Amino acid sequence: MASMGRQRGGGSRKGRSSGGVRSGAARSGGAGVPVAGVHEIDTGTCELEPDPFDSNGWVLRINGEPSSHIDLVEPRALSFDYMRWIAELVYSQWDPSSAESSPRMLHLGGGACTLARAFGAVYPQARQVVVELDGRLAVLVREWFDLPRAPLLRIRVGEARAVTETLTENSRDLVIRDVFAGHSTPLPLTTVEFAAHVRRVLSPGGIYVVNCGDTADLRGAREEAATIGERFEHTAVIADPATLGGKRRGNIILAGSDVPLGNSPRLASRLLGGGTQAHVWQDAQVRRFAGSVRARRDPAGA
């Protein structure tokens, strides 16, 4: 499941006054209605709470960690900066204004399916699969939020690597990894061997995007950059300057593809908007960032 260290991306949430969506009756439960409170799930507990800064927003916490934010009125609204950065990268590769843009997407890590819900609104014909470890959470999210129905959006309960290894070659255009256990991503999802599985699943021109939560020493992000760079010809990094400068813990978005990434002037401009400004690095700068750090590999005998 998705989780995060601090508020992912550290960005602010801008309150919206669309008004009238949330009411006492709406909080009582039912089909497509959020239910505030702490709920038992397979991997512990989740807490759904109203966003005090957004009259239409809800925050999902998993085992105490903020995991997702949902705007009930506007699915394309992304309050977590790291999600907005991922979306802008995707939009730079697949034109949202084109009726023919319908990338096949695989989301590793579900949470509240915020990104899948947003992409469903932007690319209404796209087919998406969300892999979520926690079966009970998957059921609750379907009950609480207006998610696209299968086959447009399927939630598959399972472990992210195990599911990825079963997928057909060239069957996805976009793979997004947003899986956390506490503050870190499980090692099996960060290795060269796993990246090879993702590369096999991706079609030509496809993109692998990962959300890396790292400390100020940036060791983890450098290792992820080296790992993705070993399997993909082109890489990119998106993050805010303070995180990239090693001044604080934060979220760093890394991406790999067999086509150039991050070279769109519009992408660079769009990343300067929103709650937290971000920079995009293209391949040469990403490889300098990785430097001599070794790529991660599966343990011997795994």
pLDDT value of residue 31: 54
What percent of the chain stands above pLDDT 70? 89
The Cβ-side half-sphere exposure at 51, using a 13 Å CA radius, reads 23
Alpha helices in 202-248 (DSSP H): 219-231, 241-244
The reply to whether 97 falls in a domain is yes
Dihedral (Cα; 191, 192, 197, 198), 10-degree rounding: 80
pLDDT value of residue 25: 30
Q: What pLDDT, in 10s, does the model give residues 48-104?
A: 999 999 999 999 999 999 999 999 999 999 999 999 999 999 999 999 999 889 999
For the chain, the distance separating the N- and C-terminal CA atoms, rounded to the nearest angstrom, is: 22
What CATH number corresponds to the domain at position 120? 3.40.50.150
Overall domain count for the chain: 1
CB 147 within 8 A of CB 141: yes
pLDDT value of residue 231: 98
The reply to whether 234 falls in a domain is yes
Quote the CA–CA distance of 255 and 283 in Å, as a whole number. 10
The reply to whether 20 falls in a domain is no
Q: What pLDDT, in 10s, does the model give residues 164-222?
A: 999 999 999 999 999 998 788 999 999 999 999 999 999 999 999 999 999 999 999 99
What percent of the chain stands above pLDDT 90? 82
The reply to whether 120 falls in a domain is yes
The reply to whether 68 falls in a domain is no
Quote the CA–CA distance of 234 and 225 in Å, as a whole number. 11
pLDDT value of residue 146: 87
17 has pLDDT over 70:
no
CB 108 within 8 A of CB 164: yes
The reply to whether 105 falls in a domain is yes
Domain span at 260: 81-290
The reply to whether 296 falls in a domain is no
Buried b (16+ CB within 10 A) or exposed e, 198-216: bbebbeeebbbbbbbbbee
Q: At what angle do helices 219-231 and 192-201 cross, to 10 degrees?
A: 50
The reply to whether 112 falls in a domain is yes
Hey, what are 53's tokens? 């800064």
- Residue 158 CB partners (closer than 8 Å, separation 6+): 131, 132, 133
6 has pLDDT over 70:
no
